Amino acid sequence: MGYRHDLWEIAASRNGVVTVADAEDAGVPAVELRKLAARGALLAYGKGVYTHRDVPTTPFTEPTIAVALAGEGAFLHRESVLDLLRIGQFNPPKIRVGTRRRVRRVLPEWMDLEYRSDVSDEDLARYDGIPATTVRRALADMRSRMPPDRWELLADEALRRDLIADQDAATGKIASS
């Protein structure tokens, strides 16, 4: 098989997204990504992030792109985590991405990047391969940003779907940070 197929396999396992780092790990030179993008097989988003046109997009594609564009160590946070997991009803105008390091890239308008030194490794998880804060942390971050009755409905839904533990809800661990 060729590079195009190798990249398809990577993209198929990453919500349609492939990065230069992923490609190089699989033995595909970065120049081949640029060639395939020029030929229309890949769609470039900037800074070494592409989507493969032969892999169908999913609701997880855009969040995967956002985290990849922000670079290593980036993660979804706040309502973007809840929206990704379909907890409650959100229609955020921007995908919220957090990072614990400085990012000097120009990012698309549909992204909101925030420096988050307060997020520990314990507060991070992966949902369908996408780095994000845990649901518990996302709920804690959102507590002071929304009406209490709506927040309680979100916490109840997360608890019902086993996305947070009973003791988190009982002990108040999802109180605002």
What percent of the chain shows pLDDT beyond 70?
93
Hey, where are the domains in the chain? 3-52, 61-171
CA distances, 143 to each of 124, 138, 152, 175 (Å): 18, 9, 9, 7
CA 5 to chain centre: 25
pLDDT band at 104, cuts 50/70/90? confident
Q: Of the candidates 36, 13, 12, 10, which has an alpha carbon nearest to the alpha carbon of residue 23?
A: 10
Residue 177 predicted with pLDDT over 60: no
What's the confidence (pLDDT) of residue 46? 86
What's the confidence (pLDDT) of residue 112? 95
Q: What is the mean pLDDT of residues 4-25?
A: 94
The whole-angstrom separation of Cα 145 and Cα 7 is 40
Q: Which residue has the tokens 């907890």?
A: 87
Segment 69-89, tens digit of pLDDT? 999 999 999 999 999 999 999
Q: How many CB atoms lie within 10 A of CB 123?
A: 20
Segment 112-144, tens digit of pLDDT? 999 999 999 999 999 999 999 999 999 999 999
Q: What is the mean pLDDT of residues 151-160?
A: 93
Q: Of the candidates 147, 146, 74, which has an alpha carbon nearest to the alpha carbon of residue 112?
A: 74
